[in-house]
Amino acid sequence: MREEAPVVRALQDSGWLVLAGERFRISSPPAIRVTIASLNVDEAPVLADLIAEAEHALHPRRAY
């Protein structure tokens, strides 16, 4: 993940509460923080797909 804010914004717009990882890291690269303590098993794939979609939206593949 190269940019936190757009991914956080996309997930929040989809109804998920996530935070940028900036305040939780010392020397690691950009990331988001997702607490899954109350996540239902059937929600995990949905959340994973949304995270992947948000990240890929920032870096679309080029078509040649």
What are the tens digits of pLDDT across the range 15-62? Answer: 998 888 888 878 888 888 888 889 999 999 999 999 998 888 776 666
pLDDT score recorded for residue 1: 55
Helix axes 5-13, 44-58, angle to 10 degrees: 130
C-alpha distances (whole Å) from 5 to each of 22, 30, 33, 38, 61 are 10, 10, 12, 23, 20
pLDDT score recorded for residue 45: 95
Query: β-strands 19-20, 32-33: how paired?
Result: antiparallel
- Cα separation, 37 vs 52, in Å, equals 20
Share of the chain above pLDDT 70, in %: 88
Residue labelled with tokens 């690691």 = 28
Residue labelled with tokens 């900036």 = 22
pTM of the predicted protein model:
0.72
pLDDT band per the 50, 70, 90 thresholds, residue 64 = low
- What residues does each domain of the chain span? 5-58
